Each structure stands twice: as structure tokens, then as C-alpha cells.
């Protein structure tokens, strides 16, 4: 019997099973600096402890997406080492802020299983939670992936397709954001005068800038998250695969798009929820990523007059500036599109 | 009206205007580690909290140039996003030490404007200050850039060419350096026995080693500073431009030259001022940077017998070792020269 | 007389000489994050302060190999700047844990010298110690290198070949590991249920995954250690040398192999000693590194029932997965082999 883990195959999962993932991870100012160096984000709350504390945070919050990537990374060895495809996310809620010094671990419940008709693969639905050292849940989301069977003849381990929300309800937003003292929110320092009230549903924003991705950069980022999916790191094996080269972690595109979105959304300082996301096309090193966003909806956050929620659709492209908002026609995407992400971000309201 | 900033054009500036720049930035041990990893500096004061405290620093100071890059980066979106050329620096003084945990923000005063005769561009002079969370100014300098006009027909927004110092006066040096206990300065640990008194005016020092720069490295460094100048990051757009490729941030060359200068200047532990600097030629990834320095002058620092000031001219080259000190003849530089920098550095005196 | 150090040549060394190396180095969470980002290690003790403290560490220990690389880096300017070859290590003991905030410096005693018969080079044996700010020795090892003479006519500076241990005795192991509360050791979080007792002498473990190395990555890592060996950084000079390109620091392969070894050795949480190591072949950027390990021996650690010691031989290869354990036949290695490392690692015992 081997001591080496080959990951789980479709028939290894069980409905109702809870998987506790290795490895706990203490996040420090080192991770914050590296994340800045990898993506160049400029949101004031995540860049400045002084700014964050002035507006009401008890301490300097770690970027929401860094927390997500670290939690996601932990699930890879157990959930998606034998994945054929990452199919989607739903109901991702950021539930509590994470501060430097916090240690994050993760577990996943298997909430759905569905064998494919070819009997070679099946879809696994997991609800993953990231938890702090004190037991606080900081992040929760559902993810579904298509996983290979080890043995095609094995019986399906169960069948249930969970009902998933297409959008996180506004009443669930904002628990990771303390009450904000908007009078202390310095809009010049934050980089924009535009508040929640200044955005209109249907408004589209070109984020203008582009960032070219190098192999060393996406590998460094993805290792920072202790994500072990070999397709991101192993050129020897990738050379023999479908693409012939290393595939960049989809989350890298999400973080690039978020960093670019500062230009136009500087005060959308906190991602409160991700409603869903689609990795439309793969990204490889050498390409330049651009992005644009559309305001899909606006909502009050029940019980709060400090912040409002913008539902943003952010589209990232490769080698294609976004002044004309490359999009999809029906189900057919513009060939430049990499990512189509739907999230709720919080922005300060007029005091 | 767009929410996206396209930066200021020449006619947008006003004499006397003060621009408060986004984004405040908390510097941590993470930034210090990354800066070491990117440049490999070995100056003991900036590498060791124990060394710094032993000689009299209240805490471990952040590298002077890291502070400069972070302040400079903040000015880019407001001052130089539409720059055609970075023309120069003057009077750069490091005024107070920065320690891990400090948050830095920046503002700039427009102190000069001069339209060019072609009416397509103009020169903007700004005096920039970097400030800590407690209001202490840590850095101040004048920079001038040639900026495009949005509309050639627009009237010039004013005309004044400020008088700038060619050298920072020695009496202004050293405020960022506490009194040094030279008896506690361990010269073996610091890597050299040579003190202020051992250097001679006119002495030239070849720094011997070379460092090859990769795209991922300069991009990572420049994002660490939240510098958004697209020419450093966006290969898609750069491919259509003057060089066909990404241009490395000029400050990257300054930091490489400073790190290399340890070999020969190990005890010149603090850059107290930068008198001026010229980026003679662009640098692109794949080239190897070398450097040499000349002692232009020496000065006592008024009121201090612990440290003296060396005025150093540091020349960086590409793909050209510096054993024979490649230089300029008249105004014509050796084709290998990248940088010609003039600064004051402090070194301990004989106790 | 030059102020630039050209390093020591063979005739510069003296038996019994102690060399105090520059530059002291404070290690922070920034170094820990970077080390994770560069190698992707997942050992719980070094990844999580909460995990480390729960099992009995007074604080979060810095990865053993990061400490080694930092100590090693300091010796390069004095010991191996003029080395022709790194010949070996022996008796490397990790003597005390290093925590974020500690400052490390290093010194070396010259314990052996042997001129080669060609009189152009000689072998230098040094015993190097890494020491904390409070005087605690954290690491000690012997290393021998072949160093060029400056002047072939110079007399040999002495001759003595020290007797070196082939293996560190088990009674010397474990001083850097506090008593472990095995009941508090969470094996699910640690990523494996396999303890000391589950490994068998002679057992071979394929670590499965591979990591491709980019130039920017190994340069960044090696600069993090302030290692100045030019062959790792200077493509201009390397282009004219034996390989035509930059050679990756041998320690980079050790760290990659260690990180990969998590898959199969997740609970071998601490490297207590390195008995020896051989860099069988050079590594260049673009290659993919794989690894496998063999359990050479097992030992109790005298006086302890919390942990046992596994003597592991770890072999790293390039562009060659290790499912069939590529090895040597007699003295002839498989052409894929990069590294053959022999170390003692500690793992928890059954409580």
C-alpha cells in the first residue's frame, strides 16, 4: 500500500461525507506583500492598515481573494486532483474578515454526486468552508467539478444534484465588513470620489490597463496558495497533454481582473460574495489580461446605511483591450474572453 | 462621464496645485523580504534588526530606495500616466526612517509648468512628499516629466520653471539617521573595514558582479510599489509601441546598482539624499546589469562626528562589466550606460 | 588597494582560522511567505503557527532548509566565490529552532586544507555555524569545496584532511524539536495518517509531482538567501562559461525535493540532520524536477518517545518522473539524477 496520495476518484466520494483538508496556513504580512507584488492591487482597505482602522476595521484585513485562493488550494489534493474540468462556483460568501496572524484551515462536505452517462466521469459537488484558528467560518462556497473514475466498472457512489442559488441574497452580505465610518473614509486616498450612489445599473466600465503574465508569476502565486494541481507547475507532463503547456490557475485571472478593476471601482473595497463564475477559455503565460465590468444590480444591505452592494459582472479578456466591452452573443463568447465573473462588492454610501 | 481615470494631461495641471495621491500603503516585513529577494541587498542595517538596533536605530529601518519606489509609485496615476519622458529628479532628501508597520501616503505640489514649442507636450515639475501615518515627512523630492496634452489647442496652464538645486547641501543630510554608536558597529558583520575616512575623492570602485533581469522580476518589483505605468506590464500594447517590448522601470536599475554597490561600499549604509539622476538608456529583460561608482566629494555632516557623507556617482551598464569604468566623453555616453546617479550616502567615521 | 572583495583563493586560507561572515539577517513572516511561494511546501508545522504551538513549539518555526540556505549564503563571499566545485557536506545538525524575528549570522572555521596535485586548486574544509542574536547555535555543518589559487606558485597554506562522519548519530538528533504532544498532533490537518512506525527500512516512495523551474524563480530564491555566487545570476558572464547559461543553486533542488516529498512523507515534519549530499548533475531553468525517497534506516531518538528518526535518501531527477525510482548502478547514476541527499527527519510516534 502506497503512502502517496493519488487524490480521490469519482467512486471514492460519498454523499454527506466531510473531508478535512491539509494543510493549515498562517497568513502574515508576507502573504499580503507577495499578493500585492503579484497583482498590484490598490484598494486602500487592503493596502493600508491605517486606512482600514480609520474606517472601523479592528485590524488590517487580508484581501478577500487571497483568502479564497488559500482555502481553494487546500481542497485540490482531495477534491480535484483527478478533475477533468472545474465546472462552477455558487453561493460564495465571505463571512468574517481575516487578519495577519490568522491561521486558516478548510473542510468540504460532499453535497452532490452525478455520474456521467459515459460512466467514465462524474460530477462532484462540495460545500467548502474556510475556518480560522478560533473556529470562525471566514468563507463558504459550493463548487462542482467533473472527476474521473479510477475504475469505469465501479458503481456510482450515489446520485443527487443539489439546488444552488444563482445569486447570494443581499441580506446575507456584509458580515465580513464591520460598520464603516464613512466620514473617516478618505476618498482622495482611496483613489476615487465615486460611491455606491454614483453607479447605475447597466453601467459598463472599461478598466483600461493590461497585465502580461509570466510563467514564474503564476507559479509563484499558485504555490503561495499551496495549490498542487500539476497542470500549473509541471511543464514536462503538460508537454504531453492537451495544451502542450502549463495552464494558468483560473483564480489567477480572477485576481488580475479584480486588481485591474480598481480603475473605475476603487471604492468597491470588499468582495462580499461571488455568485458564480465561468472560466470561458484557458490562459497561458505570455498573454496580456484586460478586464471590464458591468453593474448588474444594486442593493441595500439590510440594516446598514454605511455601505451598499453592487452586483458586478467582470469580464476578463486576453490580448484584447476592453474599450468596446467584448462580450457574448447568446451563448457564444468573443474569442478573447477568459472569465465571466458575477460578484457582490460593497461600496460606501453618502454619509 | 467615465469613472475610469485616464490620468492628467499637461493642460490639467495648475501652478500651486496640490495633488493627494492614492493609495496609502503599510510596509511590513513582507515588503522587506521581497525587496531582498528581488535585489539581493546585503547592507547590514537594512538586513538585520539586531544590527540596526545595536548601533542606535529605534527599530529596523526599511531600505531607503524601497520607500522611494513606493512613494514614486503613488504619483504615477496622477503625474506621469501620460508622460512622454521622465526628465529628472532633484533635491531628494530622506528625512525620517520608515519602520515595518508604518503606513506611507504621498502628495505632490505642482511647482513648475512649461509648454514645449510644439504645443503637443509640456514639462510638469512636482515636489512630492511621502508622509507616515503620524504626519512625519519621510521623503521629499522634485521630479519633472514631459506630459502630453489631451488637446493641442488648449492654452498652456501657466509657465514657471523652478530653480532646482544641483546638490543637496550637507547641512540637510542625516535627519533619517539617528546618532550612530560607532563602537557598536561591527565592521566584520557589515562586510567591510572601510569607513568614511578610507574613501578618497576621485576614487573609482568597480562593483564587479552582474545581475540579469527577468520579466517576472521587474514586473513583480514594480507592482510591489503599486506603480501602474503600463509600459512596464503590458506586452500587448508595448508590442505596438516604440520599443516593441516592455520597458523596465528606471527605479529597478537604481535598486540593482545600489545592491551591487555593496561590494566596495558596504558601510555606506544609508542613502541620505539623491542629488539627481539620469536614465541614459532603456533596459529590457534579459540584459545583465553591472555598476561602478566614483567618490565625487566628501563632507562632514554638520554637528555629527558619528557619520560622514560620501557624494557618490553610480553608473550602471548593461551587458558590460565595469572594470574599466565605462563613462561618458563630453555629453556622449558609452553605449552600455543605463544610469548616471548622483547621491549622498552616509558611512561611519572612526570612533 | 581595492575596496572590492574578490573572495578568498586557496592560499588565503589558514588552518584554524575563523571567518566571521557578513551580513546578519533578520528572518520574518515575509521570508516564510516567500519560501512557501517559491517551493509550495505543505508541512503543517512550518505552514501553521497554530499547529506548531498546539503540538508544543513555543513559536512558529522557520523551515529548516530556509535557515540552511541563509547560513550557506553568508559563507559564499568568503569561502566559495572562487570555487571550482562544491564537493560535499557532512554532519549537518539543526540544533535549535529559528522563529520569525530571529536574526541569524554565521561564521566558519577552516578545519582542513589539501592542495591538489596540479597546484592550481586546493580543497578547503570549513565547519560553519549559524547563530541567533542571543548566541544560540542553530545550525552546524562541514562543507568542502575546491577553490582556485590566485597564484599557482604560492605555497600550500597547510595540509590536513579532517575525518568526517558519514552519518549523524541519533543521539545528536532532535535538539531543534521541542517535546511534541502527539495527542495534539492532528494527522488529518497534517495530511497523512502515517507515523514513524508505519515506515519500513528499504521502503521506496515516489513523490509523484513535478515542478518546472523558471529563471526568475531560482534567482529570486537565491537572492533571498543573499547568496552572491555569480553563476546563478549573471547571464552575460555565464554565456562565456562552461554551460553557456546560469546554473541553478544546488540548494534550490534540495528545497524542491523536500517540498515534493510531502506527498508520502507528510509527517516527517522536521529535518534534524543532513548526513551528506551530492549534486550529481547541474540544473538549468526550464527543466522539471521530480523526486523519490528511500527509508535507509530508522532510529529512536535517545530519551524521547514522542518522535522517531527516519534516515531518508532523497533522489531528485530532471524531466523524469520517479515511479520506477531512477537510481545509480554502482557509481553510475541514471542520467536524469540531479541530487542524492541523505538526511534524518523526525516523525511523530504512536502516542
pLDDT, averaged per 10 consecutive residues of chain A (351 residues), comes to: 88 97 98 98 98 98 98 97 91 98 98 96 98 98 97 94 97 98 98 97 97 98 96 97 96 98 98 96 98 98 97 98 96 97 97 75
**Which chains neighbour A (Cβ–Cβ under 8 Å, 3 or more pairs)?**
B, C
Q: How far apart are CA B277 and CA A126, in angstroms?
A: 57
Average of per-residue pLDDT across B43-51: 98
Q: How far apart are CA A228 and CA C246, in angstroms?
A: 27
Q: What is the pTM of this model?
A: 0.98
Q: How far apart are CA C176 and CA C173, in angstroms?
A: 8
* Mutation for testing the B interface, residue in A26, A27, A35, A36 having most B CBs under 10 Å: A36
Chain C residues closer than 8 Å to B287 by CB:
236
Average of per-residue pLDDT across B4-12: 93
Contact yes or no for A24 and C40 at CB 8 A: no
User: Which residue from A minimizes the CA distance to C38?
Assistant: A220
- Which of A3, A30, A235 lies at the smallest CB-CB distance from C205? A3
Q: Cβ contacts of residue A210 below 8 Å, gap of 6+?
A: A260, A288, A289, A290, A321, B230, B233, B234, B236, B237
Given a cut of 60, whether residue B130 has pLDDT beyond it is yes
Concatenated DSSP letters of B159-180: -B-----SS--GGGTTTTSPPP
**Which chains neighbour C (Cβ–Cβ under 8 Å, 3 or more pairs)?**
A, B
Per-residue pLDDT of chain C (351 residues; tens, 9 = 90+): 589 988 999 999 999 999 999 999 999 999 999 999 999 999 999 999 999 999 999 999 999 999 999 999 999 999 999 999 889 999 999 999 999 999 999 999 999 999 999 999 999 999 999 999 999 999 999 999 999 999 999 999 989 999 999 999 999 999 999 999 999 999 999 999 999 999 999 999 999 999 999 999 999 999 999 999 999 999 999 999 999 999 999 999 999 999 999 999 999 999 999 999 999 999 999 999 999 999 999 999 999 999 999 999 999 999 999 999 999 999 899 999 999 999 999 999 997
- Which of C221, C224, C234 lies at the smallest CB-CB distance from B212? C234
* Mutation for testing the B interface, residue in C103, C217, C229 having most B CBs under 10 Å: C103
**Which chains neighbour B (Cβ–Cβ under 8 Å, 3 or more pairs)?**
A, C
- CB burial of residue C172 (10 Å; 0-12, 13-18, 19+): middle
Q: How far is A340 from chain C (nearest CA, A)?
A: 27
pLDDT at C5: 85
Q: Could you tell me how far CA A72 lies from the centroid of its own chain?
A: 8
Helices (H), chain C: 29-39, 44-47, 49-55, 64-75, 187-190, 215-224, 235-238, 250-260, 262-265
In 3D space, the residue among A277, A284, A266, A289 whose CA is nearest the CA of residue A336 turns out to be A289
- Which of B4, B33, B237 lies at the smallest CB-CB distance from A263? B4
pLDDT at A351: 75
> How many interchain CB pairs under 8 A, B with C?
146
| Confidence band for B6, pLDDT divided at 50, 70 and 90 | confident
- 3-state SS assignment for residue C9: coil
| Confidence band for B2, pLDDT divided at 50, 70 and 90 | confident
Contact yes or no for A206 and B4 at CB 8 A: yes
Q: How far apart are CA B130 and CA B73, in angstroms?
A: 11
- Which of A33, A50, A290 lies at the smallest CB-CB distance from B30? A33
Longest dimension (CA), chain B: 64
pLDDT at B126: 98
Chain B residues closer than 8 Å to C3 by CB:
192, 194, 198-199, 205, 264-265
Contact yes or no for B26 and A33 at CB 8 A: no
> How many interchain CB pairs under 8 A, A with C?
145
pLDDT at B1: 57
A132-161 per-position pLDDT tens digit: 999 999 999 999 999 999 999 999 998 999
- Which of B30, B216, B228 lies at the smallest CB-CB distance from A29? B30
**Helix axes B215-224 and B29-39, enclosed angle (nearest 10):** 150
- Which of C40, C206, C288 lies at the smallest CB-CB distance from A4? C206
- CB burial of residue B58 (10 Å; 0-12, 13-18, 19+): exposed
User: Which residue from A minimizes the CA distance to C210?
Assistant: A234
pLDDT at A5: 85
* Mutation for testing the C interface, residue in A1, A2, A4 having most C CBs under 10 Å: A4
Chain A residues closer than 8 Å to B228 by CB:
40, 42, 209
Q: Could you tell me how far CA A237 lies from the centroid of its own chain?
A: 26
Chain C residues closer than 8 Å to A20 by CB:
188-189
pLDDT at C335: 98
Contact yes or no for A236 and C321 at CB 8 A: yes
Contact yes or no for A234 and C210 at CB 8 A: yes
**Helix axes A64-75 and A215-224, enclosed angle (nearest 10):** 80
**DSSP, res C346:** E
Chain A residues closer than 8 Å to C284 by CB:
none
Q: Which three cell numbers stand for residue A108?
A: 468540504
pLDDT at A228: 94
Contact yes or no for B26 and A50 at CB 8 A: yes
Is the ipTM of this structure higher than 0.85?
yes
pLDDT at A1: 58
Q: How far is A216 from chain C (nearest CA, A)?
A: 6
Amino acid at each position: 500500500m502506497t503512502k502517496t496520495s493519488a487524490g480521490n476518484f469519482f467512486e471514492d466520494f460519498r454523499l454527506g461525507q466531510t473531508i478535512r483538508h491539509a494543510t493549515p496556513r498562517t497568513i502574515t504580512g508576507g502573504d499580503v506583500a507577495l499578493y500585492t507584488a503579484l497583482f498590484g492591487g490598490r484598494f486602500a482597505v487592503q493596502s493600508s492598515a491605517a486606512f482600514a482602522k480609520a474606517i472601523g476595521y479592528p485590524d488590517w484585513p487580508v484581501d478577500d481573494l487571497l483568502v479564497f485562493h488559500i482555502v481553494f488550494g487546500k481542497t485540490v489534493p482531495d477534491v480535484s486532483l483527478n478533475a477533468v474540468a472545474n465546472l462552477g462556483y455558487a453561493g460564495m460568501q465571505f463571512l468574517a474578515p481575516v487578519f495577519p496572524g490568522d491561521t486558516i484551515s478548510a473542510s468540504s462536505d460532499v453535497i452532490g454526486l452525478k455520474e456521467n452517462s459515459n460512466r467514465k466521469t462524474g460530477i462532484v459537488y462540495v460545500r467548502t468552508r474556510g475556518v480560522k484558528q478560533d473556529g470562525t467560518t471566514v468563507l463558504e462556497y459550493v463548487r462542482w467539478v467533473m472527476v474521473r473514475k479510477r475504475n469505469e466498472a465501479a458503481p456510482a457512489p450515489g446520485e443527487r444534484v443539489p439546488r444552488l442559488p444563482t445569486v447570494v441574497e443581499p441580506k446575507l452580505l456584509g458580515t465580513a465588513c464591520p460598520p464603516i465610518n464613512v466620514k473617516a473614509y478618505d476618498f482622495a486616498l482611496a483613489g476615487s470620489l465615486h460611491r455606491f450612489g454614483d453607479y447605475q445599473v447597466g453601467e459598463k466600465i472599461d478598466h483600461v490597463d493590461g497585465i502580461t503574465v509570466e510563467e514564474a508569476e503564476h507559479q509563484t502565486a499558485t504555490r503561495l496558495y499551496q495549490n498542487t494541481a500539476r497542470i500549473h507547475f509541471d511543464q514536462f507532463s503538460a508537454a504531453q497533454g492537451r495544451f502542450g503547456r502549463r495552464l494558468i490557475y483560473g483564480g489567477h485571472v480572477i485576481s488580475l481582473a479584480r486588481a485591474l478593476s480598481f480603475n473605475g471601482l476603487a471604492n468597491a473595497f470588499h468582495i462580499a460574495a461571488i455568485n458564480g463564475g465561468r472560466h470561458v477559455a484557458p490562459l497561458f503565460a505570455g498573454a496580456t489580461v484586460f478586464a471590464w465590468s458591468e453593474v448588474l444590480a444594486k442593493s441595500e444591505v439590510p440594516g446598514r446605511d454605511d455601505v451598499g452592494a453592487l452586483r458586478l459582472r467582470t469580464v476578463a479578456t486576453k490580448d484584447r483591450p476592453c474599450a468596446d466591452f467584448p462580450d457574448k452573443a447568446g451563448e457564444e463568447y468573443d474569442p478573447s474572453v477568459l472569465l465571466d465573473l458575477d460578484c457582490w462588492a460593497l461600496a460606501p454610501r453618502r454619509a
